[in-house]
């Protein structure tokens, strides 16, 4: 298993800053997703780890060998699938019988065993990407770098190959860095996530923890699609008389958010409530559910889910309904908020964490 460490890394190209002040220690034997929008610095970071580029400042340390898979299907067009998979082993002067054994083992794992005599042009996009991935696996590298390897595939192939990648790397034998713009993809691997924006690290930690309990509003906004919805809060009273309500005038009744010990830790002004879109609902979930007046705007059907845009007393919000159809006109003039799943941020956007505070989980 290879370790990866970046200290004070900066990368500038033609006067343009690609990475700034990056300090990262990537846990060995785990999948770490680099998540961020286009031009966040994900590919720049992978290229530094691969040794393809050098940092303008700082230090990059990598323990062990490295293999990289790109977004484009990078295969040798004149070689068969077998020879593509075997090519890094031949360069390493591996014995012929060992090459044959390793290639066939990898082909079996990637469901390429019936395609070994074909050339890349005769393969589908998903099969070509499997070949590119197989060539990286054939090197048996300690560190595997995946630069948005699923981005050029259609939805069905992307979901299929995503599951295969999870199975390939679940054994913890390799350190994997996966660049992606898709929060769901980053979350699905269940490892760690490094959130990047404009070449800077916003946060780094276990994926589920960052999704459920984002350390600040910026993390919450970047990690989620649709992003976490932010509602302004107001605190009234002090100490045992402290209470919270939405700035729209809706009080937060009995439940974790209304506990005076928690409410007292929230600033009187500038605090906000973070709610994931799937934590709004059309019917109450539990006795603590908060009823919000809602003006329906539109509903976007996405097969097994529906994204709803609505306004609560002028505040634009989004709701994600899973496994439920919704009429464009809206089935009701109100929605329900589940306060047990919400998080609270202070005036500076940092999550307020006190004993017994809500944590935003599913």
Over residues 108-133, mean pLDDT: 88
Model confidence pLDDT, tens digit, residues 250-288: 998 756 676 778 888 899 889 999 999 999 999 998 888
Q: Examine the fold and report which residue of 221, 244, 279 is the final residue of a domain before the chain moves on.
A: 221
Model confidence pLDDT, tens digit, residues 231-252: 999 998 888 888 899 999 999 8
CB burial of 151-164 (b: ≥16 within 10 Å; e: otherwise) equals: ebbeeebbeebbee
In this structure, the strands spanning 229-236 and 175-180 are unpaired
235: tokens are 């605190």
Residue 357, pLDDT above cutoff 90: no
* Number of compact structural domains in the chain: 2
Residue 356, pLDDT above cutoff 70: no
Specify if 353 maps to a domain: no
Are both 206 and 238 inside the same structural domain?
no
Specify if 351 maps to a domain: no
CA-CA distance, 172 to 28, in Å (whole number)? 8
Residue 326, pLDDT above cutoff 90: no
Query: CA quadruple 142, 184, 60, 18: dihedral positive or negative?
Result: positive
Specify if 356 maps to a domain: no
Nearest residue to 29 via CA among 136, 176, 144, 188: 176
Over residues 102-123, mean pLDDT: 90
Specify if 275 maps to a domain: yes
Are both 49 and 125 inside the same structural domain?
yes
pLDDT of residue 330: 56
Average pLDDT score over the chain = 88
Are both 205 and 331 inside the same structural domain?
no
Are both 42 and 112 inside the same structural domain?
yes
Instruction: Please state, for a pLDDT cut of 70, what percent of the chain lies above it.
Output: 93
CA-CA distance, 81 to 121, in Å (whole number)? 10
Contacts of 145 (CB under 8 A, 6+ apart): 46, 49, 50, 66, 67, 68, 69, 176, 177
Are both 236 and 330 inside the same structural domain?
yes
Three-state secondary structure call for residue 336 = strand
Specify if 352 maps to a domain: no
Are both 255 and 242 inside the same structural domain?
yes
Are both 161 and 299 inside the same structural domain?
no
Model confidence pLDDT, tens digit, residues 171-222: 778 899 999 999 988 998 888 999 999 999 999 999 999 998 899 999 998 8
Query: CA quadruple 163, 166, 169, 175: dihedral positive or negative?
Result: positive
Are both 158 and 307 inside the same structural domain?
no
Residue 224, pLDDT above cutoff 60: yes
Model confidence pLDDT, tens digit, residues 288-319: 899 999 999 988 888 778 899 999 999 999 99
pLDDT of residue 331: 61
Q: Examine the fold and report which residue of 169, 198, 221 is the final residue of a domain before the chain moves on.
A: 221
Over residues 82-93, mean pLDDT: 92
Specify if 362 maps to a domain: no
Instruction: Please state, for a pLDDT cut of 90, what percent of the chain lies above it.
Output: 55
Categorize the per-residue pLDDT at 125 as very low, low, confident or very high, splitting at 50, 70 and 90.
confident
Q: Examine the fold and report which residue of 171, 197, 221 is the final residue of a domain before the chain moves on.
A: 221
Contacts of 348 (CB under 8 A, 6+ apart): none
Are both 52 and 134 inside the same structural domain?
yes
pLDDT of residue 255: 63
250 in the Ramachandran plot: left (φ > 0), alpha (ψ -120 to 50) or beta?
beta
Range of the domain at 287: 224-345
Q: Are 90 and 99 contacting, i.e. CB atoms less than 8 angstroms apart?
A: yes
Residue 360, pLDDT above cutoff 60: no
Three-state secondary structure call for residue 353 = coil
CA-CA distance, 239 to 261, in Å (whole number)? 7
pLDDT of residue 256: 66
Specify if 357 maps to a domain: no
Q: Are 95 and 32 contacting, i.e. CB atoms less than 8 angstroms apart?
A: no
Chain centre distance of CA 233 = 28
Are both 86 and 116 inside the same structural domain?
yes
Are both 99 and 35 inside the same structural domain?
yes
CATH classification of the domain holding 255: 2.40.50.140
Q: Are 9 and 59 contacting, i.e. CB atoms less than 8 angstroms apart?
A: yes
Are both 179 and 205 inside the same structural domain?
yes
Residue 71, pLDDT above cutoff 60: yes
Specify if 355 maps to a domain: no
């Amino acid at each position: 298993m290879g370790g990866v460490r970046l200290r004070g890394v900066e990368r500038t190209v033609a006067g343009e800053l690609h990475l700034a002040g990056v300090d990262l220690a990537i846990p060995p034997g785990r999948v770490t997703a680099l998540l961020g929008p286009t031009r966040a610095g994900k590919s720049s970071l992978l290229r530094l780890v691969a040794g393809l580029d050098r940092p303008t400042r700082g230090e990059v340390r990598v323990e062990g060998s490295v293999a990289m898979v790109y977004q484009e299907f990078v295969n040798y067009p004149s070689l068969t699938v077998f020879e593509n998979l075997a090519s890094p082993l031949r360069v390493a002067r591996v014995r012929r019988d060992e090459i044959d054994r390793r290639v066939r083992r990898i082909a079996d794992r990637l469901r390429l065993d019936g395609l070994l005599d074909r050339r890349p042009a005769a393969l589908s996009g998903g099969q070509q990407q499997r070949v590119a991935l197989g060539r990286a696996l054939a090197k048996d590298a300690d560190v595997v770098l995946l630069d948005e390897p699923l981005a050029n595939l259609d939805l069905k192939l992307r979901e299929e190959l995503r599951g295969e990648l999870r199975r390939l790397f679940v054994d913890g034998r390799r350190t994997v860095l996966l660049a992606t713009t898709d929060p769901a993809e980053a979350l699905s691997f269940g490892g760690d996530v490094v959130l990047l924006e404009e070449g800077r690290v916003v946060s780094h930690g276990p994926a589920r923890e960052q999704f459920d309990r984002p350390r600040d509003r910026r993390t919450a906004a970047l990690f989620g699609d649709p992003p976490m919805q932010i509602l302004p809060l107001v605190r009234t009273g002090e100490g045992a008389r402290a209470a919270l309500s939405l700035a729209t005038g809706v009080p937060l009744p009995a439940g974790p958010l209304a506990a005076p010990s928690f409410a007292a830790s929230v600033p009187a002004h500038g605090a906000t409530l973070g709610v994931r879109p799937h934590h709004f609902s059309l019917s109450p979930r539990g006795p603590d559910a908060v009823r919000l007046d809602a003006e329906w705007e539109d509903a976007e059907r996405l097969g097994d889910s529906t994204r709803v845009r609505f306004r609560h007393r002028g505040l634009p919000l989004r709701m994600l309904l899973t496994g439920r159809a919704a009429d464009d006109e809206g089935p009701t003039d109100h929605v329900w908020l589940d306060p047990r799943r919400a998080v609270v941020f202070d005036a500076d956007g940092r999550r307020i964490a006190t004993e017994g505070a809500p944590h935003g989980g599913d």
